[in-house]
Amino acid sequence: MWLSKGPGGRDENQNTAVHEHKTGDSMKRALTTVFFMAAVTAVFIAALAAVNELSRSRIRMNTRIQELKSVMYAFDVMPGGMREDALPPNASTGDLPWNNADLIEIRSREFILRSVPVPDSLKPLLKNSFLTTGDSVLIWIRVDSSGMPSAYGFHLRGKGLWGTIEAFAAVNADLSAMTGIDFLSQVETPGLGARISEQEFKSYFRNLGLGRFSHTASGQDGISMVRKKDASNRQVQTHELQAITGATQTCDGVLDMLNTDLRFYLALLRGASGVMQAGTEFSE
């Protein structure tokens, strides 16, 4: 079988040892071999570099569109004529039938990005989280037709079982409920933890109550998870999410991320009365 001999092969090493005295001939052959290998490698690498160069701008565009789709999902902005409850439970954000021009148009019409400075009093909260932002954080603001903010969005960062989980969350203007969440990147186990990116799990974030964050009884988490929820938070508002069976570590990670990061962001937004004025305009 072909497997029985590895690349290069053992017997050939012995060959070289035996024929060492016939230097002239074998030297020439070895040089040809090395030259051949180098030439083939150079040709293939050059071809790959060309392919990479040609697709670079397209891939960068894709990344931007992907982020916008997630932001829209978290803000509960659906592509025209789309009803969210028509989505199958395993749908991901990529399945939404957006067209790129609409995305970019809505982004510039309804959203403002602000870089908001973090006051010293909130620095300790930031330190407890996995957020990597320094002195200021980026806040997405959705404005209604009269120019008043209707929701705020921001990035979350936490750890799952296998690695970093990055998410984008949005809350309503009076900070009483979540508008939605989307997971930007995660590397959890397929079929288990990775199901946080599916519609079913994310649907419980819509209208999730944030009341527990404002009267901060110590030792009580702002959001908790239960094994089975009878109704969505849209129907009956609670501060509970439905966990994924068999993905304990991932769910704990998500919960931890929410409770630490939301505490920080909610405090920041509450403090900066009128975030619209507080921050400086941020252009991408």
Partner 1 sequence: MEHISPWVLFFAAIFTGNILLTFFLGMCSFLSVSKQLKTALGLGLAVTFVLTITAALNWVVYYYILVPAGIEYLKYIVFIVVIAATVQLLEMFIERYSELLYINLGIFLPLITVNCAILGVSLFMVIRQYSFIQSVCFGAGSGLGWLLAILAMAGIRERLNEKKIPTALRGPGIALIITGIMAMAFIGFSGMVQIQ
Partner 2 sequence: MPVSKSMQLLKDDLWKNNPVTVQILGICSTLAVTNIFLNTLIMGLGLTFVTAFSALTISLMRNVIPPRVRMMVQTLVISSYVVIVDISLRAYVPDISRALGPYVGLIITNCIIMGRMEAFASGNKPLLSLWDGVLSGIGYSWVLLVIAFVRELLGFGTVLGIQVMDPLIHGLGYTGGWVQWSFMIMAPGGFFMLALFIWIANSVSGHKLTHSGS
The verdict on 125 binding partner 1 (CB under 8 A) reads: no
Give 31 or 45: the residue with its C-beta nearer to partner 1.
45
Question: Which residues in 170-209 contact partner 2 (CB under 8 A)?
Answer: 187, 190-192
Q: Which stretch binds partner 1 (CB under 8 A): 2-10, 63-71, 112-120, 276-284?
A: 2-10
Q: Which ranges in the chain belong to alpha helices (H)?
A: 10-18, 23-74, 100-110, 123-128, 199-203, 211-214, 248-271, 275-278
The verdict on 227 binding partner 1 (CB under 8 A) reads: yes
- List, as one string, the DSSP characters of 71-83: HHHHTT-PPTT--
Binds partner 1 by CB under 8 A, chosen from 34, 148, 226, 231: 226
17 binds, among partner 1, partner 2, none (CB under 5 to 8 A by kind): none
The verdict on 82 binding partner 2 (CB under 8 A) reads: no
What is the pairing mode between strands 178-185 and 224-226? unpaired
Q: 75 CB contacts (<8 Å, ≥6 apart)?
A: 140, 142, 151, 153, 170, 179, 180
282 binds, among partner 2, partner 1, none (CB under 5 to 8 A by kind): none
The verdict on 169 binding partner 1 (CB under 8 A) reads: no
Beta-bridge mates of residue 79: none
The verdict on 5 binding partner 1 (CB under 8 A) reads: yes
Q: Which stretch binds partner 1 (CB under 8 A): 29-37, 62-70, 114-122, 156-164?
A: 156-164
The verdict on 48 binding partner 1 (CB under 8 A) reads: yes
> Which of 146, 178, 182, 140 lies closest to 165, judged by CA?
182
Buried b or exposed e, range 223-250, using 16+ CB within 10 angstroms: bebeeebeebbeeebbbebbbbeebeeb
What does the radius of gyration of the chain's CA atoms come to, in whole angstroms?
A: 27
Binds partner 2 by CB under 8 A, chosen from 14, 23, 27, 41: 41
The verdict on 23 binding partner 2 (CB under 8 A) reads: no
Q: Which residues bind partner 1 (CB under 8 A)?
A: 3-8, 10, 13, 45, 48-49, 52, 130, 159, 161-164, 187, 189-190, 192, 224-227, 243, 245-249, 251-252
